[in-house]
Amino acid sequence: MSLKALILCVIVIIGFIAPFSGSFTVFQFFFLLIPYTIYFLFTLVILLVSYLIKSENRDYVQLVFLVLPVFILAQIVSTLLVDHIQKARAEYIIVKIEESRTEYGRYPEKHEPALGIEYSVLKNGEHFKLTYNIGFLMSEVYYSESDKWIKRGWRD
């Protein structure tokens, strides 16, 4: 594997993890938006100039240019994938919890932990909620009382 491919793979991995770090997401949106824009425009100009003058280190310039778009695209793809995967896993958990209620007459106090999905009983065991993080300080919450999913943001 070439160094360029290795660097891009590391950037993709970091990009897949980044949306799920709340403090980094806040820092990114509030403090890095302008530097990201400046970096992108600056590297775009350098890339265009390297093509115009037919520079020999064009591969290096392409790599420097691709860092930010690949990082941001990885974050977006990660968020979309995790949302679909966690929703499917949560729906399965809901079925199992409802089966438990049918069998025992009430919702279980605890449910076996599922990676990234939190379960809690509400109102003396009459209802429950499931929550999972979908990245960028957003979460999906299921309330058994209303049988609905609600998206919650950082301001909710």
- For residue 151, the 8-state DSSP code is E
> Do the Cβ atoms of 151 and 143 come closer than 8 Å?
no
Q: What is the largest CA-CA distance in the chain?
A: 75
Beta partners for residue 138, in sequence order:
135
Name the pLDDT band for 119 (thresholds 50, 70, 90).
Answer: very high
The pLDDT of residue 12 is: 93
Name the pLDDT band for 22 (thresholds 50, 70, 90).
Answer: low
| Burial environment of residue 33 by CB neighbours within 10 A (0 to 12, 13 to 18, 19 or more) | exposed
Record the pTM.
0.67
Q: Which of 4-8, 116-120, 136-140 has the lowest mean pLDDT?
A: 136-140
The pLDDT of residue 80 is: 84
Distance between CA atoms of residues 18 and 135, nearest Å? 8
Positive or negative, the CA dihedral 90, 140, 30, 39 is positive
Average pLDDT over residues 33-60: 90
Tokens at 21, concatenated? 């770090």
Q: Kindly report the number of other CB atoms within 10 A of residue 88's CB atom.
A: 10
Of 15-29, 92-106, 129-143, the range with the highest mean pLDDT is 92-106
